[in-house]
Amino acid sequence: MKTNRLLALVSFVLMGCQANQESLDEFVAQVERKARQDVVDLAPVIDFRIAKYQGHEQRAPFVLPQAALALNQPLASKECWQPTPRAQGGQLEKYPLSKLRLKGMMSRSGKVSGLVQTPNGKVVKVNVGHYIGQHNGKVTEVTANYLKINETLPDGLGCWNKRNVKLALK
């Protein structure tokens, strides 16, 4: 009786194992037909002609004409603060503050001086009262960790504003 049950169970399992009898080649062909799509033609390429720039006697293409520059400049207002004009001649006045690096400090007889490096690698000694940067920056304080600089910036409307900037050791 045990063998009959076992034989019935095996035959029942084998009857349930009748898998998909379709051909594998037909299945692959059907999937490939579904996957293929027509290739869309690309738009025709526009043919560009190269022309050399011949306007050497004309103005530079990226510079505003002088008339436009004169019209865009605001008139200086007498009601706002204006800096006193001075000649710029310091070694560090031709560089923006963002390009200058404070590299160190040195002290002699209690007087602290800063060592500022220019973009080309030259190190310049700076004391209180020296001018630094492109915006009339005057060194007002030299400490062991930073230089305090008072800059004069145009506001674009003909007036000027002062701001304090610290150039710190990194």
The answer as to whether 122 is a domain residue is yes
3-class SS of residue 101: strand
For the whole model, what pTM was predicted?
Answer: 0.53
pLDDT at 71: 54
pLDDT at 139: 92
The answer as to whether 108 is a domain residue is yes
Would the pLDDT of 114 be above 90? yes
pLDDT at 132: 92
The answer as to whether 46 is a domain residue is no
The domain of 122 spans 91-168
Sort strands 146-154 and 160-168 into parallel, antiparallel or unpaired.
antiparallel
Query: Closest Cα to residue 124, out of 154, 109, 102?
Result: 102
Quote the CA–CA distance of 32 and 91 in Å, as a whole number.
75
Tell me which of 18 and 103 has the higher pLDDT.
Answer: 103
CA atoms within 13 A on the CB side of 59: 8
Would the pLDDT of 129 be above 70? yes
pLDDT digits (tens, 9 = 90+) for 1-52: 677 787 777 776 666 555 666 788 888 888 888 777 677 788 888 888 888 8
Quote the CA–CA distance of 142 and 164 in Å, as a whole number.
13
The CATH number of whichever domain residue 97 belongs to comes to 2.30.30.830
The answer as to whether 128 is a domain residue is yes
pLDDT at 161: 86
The answer as to whether 111 is a domain residue is yes
pLDDT digits (tens, 9 = 90+) for 42-101: 888 888 888 887 766 777 777 666 655 545 555 555 677 777 887 878 888 888 888 999
The answer as to whether 43 is a domain residue is no
pLDDT at 17: 56
The answer as to whether 33 is a domain residue is no
On whether the CB atoms of residues 63 and 69 are closer than 8 A, the answer is: no
Tell me which of 18 and 114 has the higher pLDDT.
Answer: 114
Domain total of the chain: 1
The answer as to whether 105 is a domain residue is yes
